[in-house]
């Protein structure tokens, strides 16, 4: 037998040692936790395989103890395991799939597609090979040097938010409220508002000839929706709402339901964030919605108690703050030298009885850059969206607003604040000061504009013109019950021909061009044109439309256009 050299002998001993510490055995399975021995060199968060190295039974090492480790299952059924089964190290952390091919899919935190039947088989395989890649779910957040201040507005299409509580790309804005106050609907609406940019404008740029194509990465806004422990019916409703309105082609859904393991629910938001980071690092604007982090905290508490970690306040482990902070700190606006992409985080927290001083809500409020508070009192009164502007705040503020919206928004905020101060005075009876009455009259009409139907969005141009009409007093003389119709018919080009001069007609018929100017310039540039247009419309509305609206409660639009 040929004698090994010293180098070969050293390599042989190293491989034997590596193999020895890379394979372990299951000692016991207790309460969804697998205790294994022989994995002395495993690291926290490492993925392991059971039974064989080709097995689909996956676990994650979470506790390192003397002579043993504690593992939770993240793929496969625990009933398939027995004591003395082999456990193999993979030397890898948890990974998921990301890339262009992930858009339109409903996936697990590990990247497995749930709606494969929605795609052509060959196209799905092609996307799987060429348009997806594996990414780690846990990566460090960008450093300070790699970031820029948040200045680009993220338009939600919800009037009260875009006006009073502006959100910027790269911001972390919490959506908080009781059950059935419209938190999920608000998040879905913000995704639907990106439809114009993604399905119309960006599509046209993609269709340009190759030789004249301009780099327009930042114009595609990708959306990632993470569901954590929701009911199956809610997941189906979410997919249907996005698919029906053409939003699923720029959205990926990371889905976990209540029947799945706490470990998989715990991984879901990190997987969603990793998918969004892939797009951010390539210069795109990404939005990730975590629905909701209350369920995520409960899943982590359940997992920690089973792992026999010491409990703290409300039985949550002591590091629950770090669990959420390391997730939300990954939201960022990258420096232009890093591509200039952004990741906007919209976490959702469900409160009990409106108590925002509970443990998890206060934790997440202290991490985020502001919160949108949804009031159950408003929701019970039929106000939708049920946003309480007084308790809501955006710490980025006007720096994440277009100059035109910032200019008109300040005036509306002032008027709305005065209305809130004097709200209810008219119910006391007696004479009311005319100035106070004007505050109340205008405030009620601002409230009307702030109310929107389910999944109803309003574009920037319409928002600014409507707010301009409110501030200039054009709506003060309109009957409160007709205020919604006033804003509805203001932008109807078929009606415009009945009252508007030809030179002002483009403001109604071709708003896209005007909106481009309003993104960069002050509203003062158009104040004269807006004033003349809305003044003509107001006279027409008060003399012709309002009497007919009050008299006819049927199909108003059909009757008025006839």
Rounded-to-10 torsion of CA 115, 121, 124, 130? 160
Rounded distance, CA 504 to CA 536, Å? 10
Rounded distance, CA 101 to CA 98, Å? 7
Say which DSSP state 387 is in. Answer: B
Q: What is the 3-state secondary structure (H, E, C) of 300-364?
A: HHHHHHHCCCCECHHHCECCHHHHHHHHHCCCEEECHHHCCCEEEEEEEEECCCCCCCCHHHHHH
- What per-residue string of b and e applies to 219-239 under the rule 16 or more CB within 10 Å gives b? bbbbbbbbbbbbeeeebeebb
Paired strand residues for 172: 345
Cβ-Cβ contacts under 8 Å for 80 (sequence gap 6 or more): 50, 51, 57
Helix axes 511-520, 403-422, angle to 10 degrees: 90
- H or E stretch including 8? helix 6-20
Cβ-Cβ contacts under 8 Å for 295 (sequence gap 6 or more): 228, 229, 230, 265, 350
Rounded distance, CA 308 to CA 303, Å? 9
**Is 237 a known active-site residue?**
no
Phi first, then psi: give them for residue 242, nearest 5 degrees: -75, -40
Rounded distance, CA 236 to CA 228, Å? 14
Cβ-Cβ contacts under 8 Å for 32 (sequence gap 6 or more): 72, 73, 78, 261, 262, 306
Rounded-to-10 torsion of CA 175, 179, 182, 183? 20
Paired strand residues for 394: 370
Task: List, as one string, the DSSP characters of 510-533.
Answer: -HHHHHHHHHHS-GGGGHHHHHHH
Q: Which of 82, 213, 232, 395 is labelled catalytic?
A: 395
Paired strand residues for 75: 58
Rounded distance, CA 354 to CA 178, Å? 6
Rounded distance, CA 438 to CA 434, Å? 6
Q: What is the 3-state secondary structure (H, E, C) of 102-156?
A: HCCCEECCCCCECCHHHCCHHHHHHHHHHCCEEEECCCCCCCCCCECCCCCECCC
Residue in this structure with the two tokens 């639009």, named with its chain if needed: 557
Q: Which pair of structure tokens corresponds to residue 242?
A: 């996005």
> What residues act catalytically?
395
């Amino acid at each position: 037998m040929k004698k090994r050299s010293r180098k070969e002998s050293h390599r042989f001993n190293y491989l034997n040692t590596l193999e020895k510490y890379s394979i372990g055995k299951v000692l016991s399975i207790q309460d969804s936790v697998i205790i294994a021995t022989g994995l002395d060199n495993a690291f926290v968060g490492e993925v392991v395989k059971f039974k064989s190295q080709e097995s689909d039974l996956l676990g994650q090492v979470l506790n390192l103890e003397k002579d043993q480790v504690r593992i939770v299952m993240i793929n496969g059924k625990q009933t398939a395991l027995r004591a003395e089964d082999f456990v193999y190290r993979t030397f890898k952390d948890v990974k998921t799939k990301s890339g262009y091919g992930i858009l339109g899919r409903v996936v697990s935190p590990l990247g497995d597609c749930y709606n494969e039947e929605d795609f052509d088989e060959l196209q799905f395989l092609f996307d799987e090979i060429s348009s997806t890649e594996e990414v780690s779910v846990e990566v460090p957040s960008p450093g300070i040097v790699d970031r820029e201040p948040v200045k680009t507005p993220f338009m939600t299409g919800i009037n009260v938010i875009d006006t009073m509580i502006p959100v910027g790309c790269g911001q972390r804005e919490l959506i908080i409220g009781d059950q059935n106050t419209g938190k999920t609907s608000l998040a879905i609406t913000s995704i639907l508002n990106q439809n114009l940019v993604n399905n119309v404008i960006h599509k046209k740029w993609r269709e340009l000839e190759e030789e004249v194509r301009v780099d327009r990465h930042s114009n595609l806004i990708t959306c990632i929706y993470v569901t954590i422990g929701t009911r199956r019916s809610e997941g189906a409703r979410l997919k249907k709402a996005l698919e029906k309105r053409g939003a699923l082609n720029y959205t990926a859904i990371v889905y976990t339901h209540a029947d799945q393991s706490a470990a998989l629910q715990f991984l879901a938001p990190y997987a969603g964030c990793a998918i969004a980071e892939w797009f951010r690092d390539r210069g795109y604007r990404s939005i990730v919605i975590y629905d909701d982090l209350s369920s995520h905290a409960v899943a982590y508490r359940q997992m920690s108690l089973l792992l026999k970690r010491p409990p703290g306040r409300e039985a949550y482990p002591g590091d629950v703050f770090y669990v959420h902070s390391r997730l939300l700190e990954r939201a960022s606006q990258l420096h232009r030298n890093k591509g200039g992409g952004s990741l906007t985080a919209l976490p959702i927290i469900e409160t009990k009885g409106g108590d925002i001083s509970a443990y998890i809500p206060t934790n997440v409020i202290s991490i985020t850059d502001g919160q949108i508070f949804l009031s159950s009192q408003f929701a019970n009164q039929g106000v939708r969206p049920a946003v309480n502007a007084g308790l809501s705040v955006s710490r980025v503020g006007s720096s994440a607003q277009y100059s035109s919206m910032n200019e008109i928004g300040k005036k509306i905020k002032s008027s709305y604040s005065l209305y809130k101060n004097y709200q209810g005075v008219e119910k006391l009876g007696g004479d009311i000061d005319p100035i106070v009455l004007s505050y109340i009259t205008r405030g009620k009409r601002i409230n009307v504009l702030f109310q929107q139907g389910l999944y109803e969005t309003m574009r920037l141009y319409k928002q600014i013109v409507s707010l301009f009409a409110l501030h200039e007093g054009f709506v003060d003389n309109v009957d409160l019950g007709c205020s919604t119709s006033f804003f509805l018919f203001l932008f109807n080009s078929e009606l415009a021909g009945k009252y508007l001069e030809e030179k002002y007609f483009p403001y109604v018929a071709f708003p896209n061009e005007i909106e481009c100017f309003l993104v960069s310039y002050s509203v003062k540039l158009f104040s004269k044109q807006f004033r003349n247009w809305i003044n003509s419309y107001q006279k027409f509305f008060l003399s012709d439309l309002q009497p007919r609206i009050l008299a006819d409660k049927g199909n108003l639009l059909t009757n008025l256009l006839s």
